Homo-oligomer: A and B are copies of this chain.
Amino acid sequence: MFFSVTMSLDGCIAPEYMQLGQPTEKWLDQWMELQKYVFQQRFFRQNLKLGDGGETGRDNRIVEETFNRTGASIMGKRMFEGGEHNWPEEAPFHTSVFVLTHEVRQPWERPGGTTFHFVNDGIESALRQAREAAGQRDVRIAGGADVIRQYLNAGLVDEFSLAVSPVLFGAGLRLFDGIDPRGIALEIAEAINSPLVTHLNYAVHRK
């Protein structure tokens, strides 16, 4: 089980969390700066139906490989609610997605093979269901930071990849806030140089 997110050099995966739930212009500017490299990748553009074109180099291959290895995703309720109205009708997952929520809701099937399942009984149950749905492929935690933290602290993450963007936020939603480092030992798997973003891959062991 793995996660793969874009992070600022000072450890943020989003600008300061919005209390009112509505992105401001500044929020969007910062977020777009963070995610700039991925919007330039051909695979990402096609998958989100943003149009043709885009880079086809190593960054693009990494984005595509991350998609291809993923047999099912897990996400938090806020990430789902953020995407529910913004993803295209053919949502960009094309697999089962397990949403951690208190809401009781029937599975929501989208064209193109994405089905959202709403899980009410915790992270281990979501992981079990996701593993079964993923078959031979891997389970990805899509986000957000609090869901990643819960799985890390529970010792359930095997690997993760950070795409470190060359931006500083100063303040924001930190990926590793609330991590309990006493149980986590990281091993560097690879660092991949690119002009737009730096890919850092780690294996996670228990201490």
| Chain A contact residues, CB within 8 Å of chain B | 9-11, 162, 164, 166-170, 174-181, 184, 186-188, 190-198, 200, 202
- Are A174 and B10 in contact (CB-based, < 8 A)? yes
> How far is the CB of A174 from the nearest CB of chain B, in Å?
7
Given contacts A188-B195, A188-B196, 13 further A-B contacts (CB under 8 A): A9-B11, A9-B162, A9-B186, A10-B11, A10-B179, A11-B174, A168-B186, A170-B176, A170-B178, A170-B180, A170-B181, A188-B197, A191-B198
> How far is the CB of A27 from the nearest CB of chain B, in Å?
14
* A186 partner residues in chain B, CB cutoff 8 A: 9, 166-168
Q: List 9 A-B contacts (CB under 8 A).
A: A9-B200, A166-B187, A166-B202, A168-B176, A170-B181, A188-B193, A190-B193, A191-B191, A191-B192
Report how far A169 CA is from B179 CA in the complex, Å.
Answer: 8
> How far is the CB of A196 from the nearest CB of chain B, in Å?
7
- Are B179 and A170 in contact (CB-based, < 8 A)? yes
Report how far A164 CA is from B162 CA in the complex, Å.
Answer: 13
